[in-house]
């Protein structure tokens, strides 16, 4: 029997399992691509430091965009401690039928969060990295966002599993980095910028949250200058944030004006990136 006539070798169980895993991964990626195919821009809100107000910024940014008449979604990928749905005060849970989630809605924003899937919100969600990766991909694969102008993605702190999965899977259009005036917050925000750049994703700019007499100001502008990115603005520490029945941009004109300035900076950066030659992330 010649080499051409020899029948193909049958695969062993390990090879067969590997092939099936490749097929499943390809099918999942195609499904995710279909789900996010009608989203014009995907913007992450991110920092390496916890407690700097990423969720507050993400929620108010999403609502401020929606108030401009845009179609906006908010995806909370903080799997361990999800709370964007609480900050935006979305009362009704997403609908689920035929294996597909239809996001909840609040203040003109479509909302999806792991928090909706908890039976008891006081219970800790304990997951290793691969499980977090799978949950995020399941959200992306199974959520019907419809047509959106913006999807705002609220990321957890750190530079590991969840941010990495989002950067590898979602093809983000850019990230807004959040820092507070404290030195350590600035340091961790800089680490986040370095991670984003390693993944070849644009950094749209830096926001300094909780600025004012209590914590001071200036770290955001310093970080932006050191990293060579745009400073998007100060978000002052105001007592209006204590009103928790609605996002603060709907409570205070001053806060809304701050977020409108941030949005203007984001749009400038996205327009500049669209006109620039494809030479990697800034």
Q: What percent of the chain lies above the pLDDT cut of 70?
A: 85
pLDDT band at 165 (very low <50, low <70, confident <90, very high): confident
Q: List, in sequence order, the alpha helices (H) in the chain.
A: 13-35, 54-67, 84-87, 129-142, 161-169, 183-198, 219-227, 253-275
- Please tell me the least confidently modeled range out of 23-32, 177-186, 254-263: 23-32
**Looking at residue 180, what is its pLDDT?**
96
Q: What is the mean pLDDT of the chain?
A: 86
Contact status, residue 186 vs residue 223, Cβ threshold 8 Å: yes
C-alpha to C-alpha distance for 80 and 15, rounded to whole angstroms: 34
Residue scoring higher pLDDT (157 or 148): 148
Res. 121: pLDDT tops 90: no
Q: Alpha carbon 3 to chain centroid distance?
A: 53
Q: What is the DSSP letter of 28?
A: H
Q: What is the DSSP letter of 115?
A: G
Q: Alpha carbon 137 to chain centroid distance?
A: 13
pLDDT band at 142 (very low <50, low <70, confident <90, very high): confident
Contact status, residue 63 vs residue 57, Cβ threshold 8 Å: no
C-alpha to C-alpha distance for 74 and 69, rounded to whole angstroms: 15
SS3 53: coil
Contact status, residue 125 vs residue 16, Cβ threshold 8 Å: no
Widest CA span in the chain? 86
Strand segments, DSSP code E, in the chain are: 39-46, 72-76, 95-97, 100-102, 104-106, 109-113, 148-154, 174-179, 203-211, 231-236
| Overall average pLDDT of the 117-121 stretch | 72
pTM: 0.86
**Looking at residue 265, what is its pLDDT?**
96
Virtual CA dihedral for 127, 130, 131, 134, nearest 10 degrees? 150
C-alpha to C-alpha distance for 215 and 209, rounded to whole angstroms: 10
Question: Hunting for tokens 């989002």 — which residue is that?
Answer: 166
Give which of 239, 185, 191 is closest to 207, Cα–Cα.
185
Tokens of 238: 């105001």
Domain segments of the chain: what residues? 39-275
**CATH superfamily of this structure's domain 39-275:** P-loop containing nucleotide triphosphate hydrolases (3.40.50.300)
């Amino acid at each position: 029997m010649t080499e051409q006539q020899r029948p193909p070798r049958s695969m062993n169980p390990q090879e067969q399992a590997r092939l099936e895993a490749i097929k499943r991964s390809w099918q999942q990626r195609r499904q995710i691509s279909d789900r996010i195919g009608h989203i014009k821009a995907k913007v992450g809100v991110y920092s390496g430091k916890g407690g700097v107000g990423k969720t507050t910024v993400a929620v108010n940014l999403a609502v401020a965009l929606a108030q401009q008449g845009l179609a906006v979604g908010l995806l909370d990928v903080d799997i361990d401690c999800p709370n964007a749905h609480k900050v935006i005060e979305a009362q009704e849970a997403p609908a689920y039928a035929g294996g597909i989630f239809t996001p909840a809605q609040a203040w003109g924003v479509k909302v999806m969060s792991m928090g909706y899937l908890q039976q008891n919100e006081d219970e800790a969600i304990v997951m290793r990295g691969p499980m977090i990766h799978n949950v995020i991909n399941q959200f992306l694969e199974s959520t019907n966002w419809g047509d959106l102008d913006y999807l705002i993605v609220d990321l957890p702190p750190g530079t590991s599993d969840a941010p990495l999965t989002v950067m590898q899977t979602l093809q983000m259009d850019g990230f807004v980095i959040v820092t507070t005036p404290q030195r350590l917050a600035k340091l961790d925000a800089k680490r986040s910028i370095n991670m984003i750049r390693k993944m070849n994703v644009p950094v749209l700019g830096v926001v300094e949250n909780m600025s004012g007499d209590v914590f001071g100001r200036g770290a955001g502008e310093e970080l932006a200058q050191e990293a060579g990115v745009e400073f998007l603005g100060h978000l002052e520490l105001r007592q209006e944030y204590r009103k928790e029945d609605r996002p603060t941009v709907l409570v205070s004109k001053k806060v809304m004006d701050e977020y409108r300035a941030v949005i203007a900076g984001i749009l400038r950066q996205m327009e500049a990136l669209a006109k620039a030659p494809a030479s990697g992330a800034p």
